[in-house]
C-alpha cells in the first residue's frame, strides 16, 4: 500500500511539473476587508483590471504598481463584469444588468444605470444571473439560473408568474412546509420569466430578446474567436454530465423547466415524454466527464491573437471544482457544431475555484476564483507562458474512419504507441447526473505519422454518433523529449463525416 501511495504521489508531482515547466503561476494579494471571492474580471483598455467581488465591490487593479483602487460598491452578488472603457463598466448583478460610469473623472462610479431588470425573481437562493458577454454589434447576452427545490419561494416575487406547475401558495417557504411539496416541483423549476434562458439585450437596454432556453445553471457564457456564443452548464437533473453549448437563437438546450416561457406553451414540462424533449433538444458540442475532466465548468473565453503561443485564437474554459482549465477545439461537420475538450493547466499549483478569466495586453492570463459556499477557492492568479514552444494538441479533426490529431511541435515517432480510444454516452433524464453508459473500447486499426511529423492519423473501427470519444495520447513525446500538455482528448461526435 505504501508503495502504491508513493507511486501515486510521484505521478501527481510529475504531472504538475509538466505544466509548471511551461507556465508561471503567481497569486496576487487582495486588499484587507474584501471578501476575496471574485465574481467577474475584465481588462480595461490601459491594461488595468476591473474586478467585482462577492460582497458587491468593484475594484481596479493596476499590475504595473500592484495597487488597488475602489470604483463601485453596494452591488448584489455580481457574477460578471465587462469593461466598455476606463470609465464605464457593465456588471451582471443578481437582480439586474447595470452600467457603472465615472462621469466626473474622480476614478469612482457616480452613475449606476439599470440596463435590464425585466427577468423574474422568486427569492429562491439558486436564481443566479451570469454574464454579460458581448457580440460584434454590441449586444449583451446574459444567462439566468433556474430555481432549486432545495428551497421554495418568497411571498413577494418580481415579474410574471406562470401557473404551470405546483400552485404558488404551496411554494411559499415561510411556513417551513416546503418539504411536503418540493418533489412535485421538479428538481429545478422556472416559475418567473425567464429563468433558464439566455437573453439578448441591446446596448441601451431598450430591446430585449428571449434568445434560447433549456439551461440549468449556466455559470459560463462567452463568445469565441469566430463569434459563436458559448455557454457551459453544470451537471444535475437533465444533465448527465456538464455540457458546453454553441447557443443559437430559438433553440432548446435540454433542461425542460424553462419551456413554460415559450410563446403559447401550456404543458407541465415534467409531464412531457422524454423522447419528445429529446427531439427538441440541441446537442452539446462538448462534454466534461464528471469527476474526470471537470465538475463545474465556468466562463469560456477566446485567447487573443499573439497570446499564449500556439493556443492563440482557441477557447479556454474555467472550472470550479478541479485544479484545471479546459481548452475547446472546434470541428464542425456539415454545419453541426462539435469538437474536442482538452485539459489545460491541469496542476495542483493552479488550485480550484477557477471562475472568471481575462487576458491583459502583456499576454498574461488572470484567473478570478470563487466558491459561493460550494467547492472552490478565492483570490486572483496570474498565469504567464514561459515555454515559447509548448508540446500540446493543436487540433483534432474527425475522419470517416478515425481521427487526425495535429500537434504544436514535432513529435518523436517512436512514442506513437499504446494509444487508446474509447467511447460512451450519458442518459438524458430527470435524474441528477448519469453514469457513463454504453461504454466501448474501440480498435485502433492503423496509426500513421504524417510527413510534417506533427500530425498523427488514427484509423479506428466503430465510431458512433451521439457518443463522446476519448483519445488517450499519454505516450506521445516531442522530438526533444517533452511530455504532452493535456494528453486526453474528449471528442463529442454528433455528426459523422
Q: Where are the domains of the chain?
A: 393-493
Q: What is the pLDDT of residues 217-239, one digit of tens each?
A: 999 999 999 999 999 999 999 99
pLDDT tens for each residue of 331-366: 999 999 999 999 999 999 999 999 999 999 999 999
pLDDT of 320: 96
On the question of pLDDT at 5 being above 50, the answer is no
Query: Of residues 279 and 17, which shows the higher confidence score?
Result: 279
Separation between Cα atoms, residue 303 and residue 394, nearest integer Å: 14
Q: Is the pLDDT of residue 4 over 70?
A: no
Pick the more confident residue, 13 or 446.
446
Q: Contact, 383 vs 327, CB < 8 A?
A: no
Q: What is the pLDDT of residues 70-121, one digit of tens each?
A: 999 999 999 999 999 999 999 999 999 999 999 999 999 999 999 999 999 9
Q: How far is CA 18 from CA 12, 15, 239, in A?
A: 10, 5, 33
pLDDT greater than 50 at residue 9: no
pLDDT for 100 equals 98
Is residue 130 a contact partner of residue 145, using CB atoms and an 8 Å limit?
yes
User: All 3 cell numbers of residue 135?
Assistant: 457580440
pLDDT at 445 over 60: yes
Reply yes or no on whether the pLDDT at 469 is more than 80.
yes
Does the domain formed by 393-493 have CATH 2.60.40.1220? yes
Amino acid at each position: 500500500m505504501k508503495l502504491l501511495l508513493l507511486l501515486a504521489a510521484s505521478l501527481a508531482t510529475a504531472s504538475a511539473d509538466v505544466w509548471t515547466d511551461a507556465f508561471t503561476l503567481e497569486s496576487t494579494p487582495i486588499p484587507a476587508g474584501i471578501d476575496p471571492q471574485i465574481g467577474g474580471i475584465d481588462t480595461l483598455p490601459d491594461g488595468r483590471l476591473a474586478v467585482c467581488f462577492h460582497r458587491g465591490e468593484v475594484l481596479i487593479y493596476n499590475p504595473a504598481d500592484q495597487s488597488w483602487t475602489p470604483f463601485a460598491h453596494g452591488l448584489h452578488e455580481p457574477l460578471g463584469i465587462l469593461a466598455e472603457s476606463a470609465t464605464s463598466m457593465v456588471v451582471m448583478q443578481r437582480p439586474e444588468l447595470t452600467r457603472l460610469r465615472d462621469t466626473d473623472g474622480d476614478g469612482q462610479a457616480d452613475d449606476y444605470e439599470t440596463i435590464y431588470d425585466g427577468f423574474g425573481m422568486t427569492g429562491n437562493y439558486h436564481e443566479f444571473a451570469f454574464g454579460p458577454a458581448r457580440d460584434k454589434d454590441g449586444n449583451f447576452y446574459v444567462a439566468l439560473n433556474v430555481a432549486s427545490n432545495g428551497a421554495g419561494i418568497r411571498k413577494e416575487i418580481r415579474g410574471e408568474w406562470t401557473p404551470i406547475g405546483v400552485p404558488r401558495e404551496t411554494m411559499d417557504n415561510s411556513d417551513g412546509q416546503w418539504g411536503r411539496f418540493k418533489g412535485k416541483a421538479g428538481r429545478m423549476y422556472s416559475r418567473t420569466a425567464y429563468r433558464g434562458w439566455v437573453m439578448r439585450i441591446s446596448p441601451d437596454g431598450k430591446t430585449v430578446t428571449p434568445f434560447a432556453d433549456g439551461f440549468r445553471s449556466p455559470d459560463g457564457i462567452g463568445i469565441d474567436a469566430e463569434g459563436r456564443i458559448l455557454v457551459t452548464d453544470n451537471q444535475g437533473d437533465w444533465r448527465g454530465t456538464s455540457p458546453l453549448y454553441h447557443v443559437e437563437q430559438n433553440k432548446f438546450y435540454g433542461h425542460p423547466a424553462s419551456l413554460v416561457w415559450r410563446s403559447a406553451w401550456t404543458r407541465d414540462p415534467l409531464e412531457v415524454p422524454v423522447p419528445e424533449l429529446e427531439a427538441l433538444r440541441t446537442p452539446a458540442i462538448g462534454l466534461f466527464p464528471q469527476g474526470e475532466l471537470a465538475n463545474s465548468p465556468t466562463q469560456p473565453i477566446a485567447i487573443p491573437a499573439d497570446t499564449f503561443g500556439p493556443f492563440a485564437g482557441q477557447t479556454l474554459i474555467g472550472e470550479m471544482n478541479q485544479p484545471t482549465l479546459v481548452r475547446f477545439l472546434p470541428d464542425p461537420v456539415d454545419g453541426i457544431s462539435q469538437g474536442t475538450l482538452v485539459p489545460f493547466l491541469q496542476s495542483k499549483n493552479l488550485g480550484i475555484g477557477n471562475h472568471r478569466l481575462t487576458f491583459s495586453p502583456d499576454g498574461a492570463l488572470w484567473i478570478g476564483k470563487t466558491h459561493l459556499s460550494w467547492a472552490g477557492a478565492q483570490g486572483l492568479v496570474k498565469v504567464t507562458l514561459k515555454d515559447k514552444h509548448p508540446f500540446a494538441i493543436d487540433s483534432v479533426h474527425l475522419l470517416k474512419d478515425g481521427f487526425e490529431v495535429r500537434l504544436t511541435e514535432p513529435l518523436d515517432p517512436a512514442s506513437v504507441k499504446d494509444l487508446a480510444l474509447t467511447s460512451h454516452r450519458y442518459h438524458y433524464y430527470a435524474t441528477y447526473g448519469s453514469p457513463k453508459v454504453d461504454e466501448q473500447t474501440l480498435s485502433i486499426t492503423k496509426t500513421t505519422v504524417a510527413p510534417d511529423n506533427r500530425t498523427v492519423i488514427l484509423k479506428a473501427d466503430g465510431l458512433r454518433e451521439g457518443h463522446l470519444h476519448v483519445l488517450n495520447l499519454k505516450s506521445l513525446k516531442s522530438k526533444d523529449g517533452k511530455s504532452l500538455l493535456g494528453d486526453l482528448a474528449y471528442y463529442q461526435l454528433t455528426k459523422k463525416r
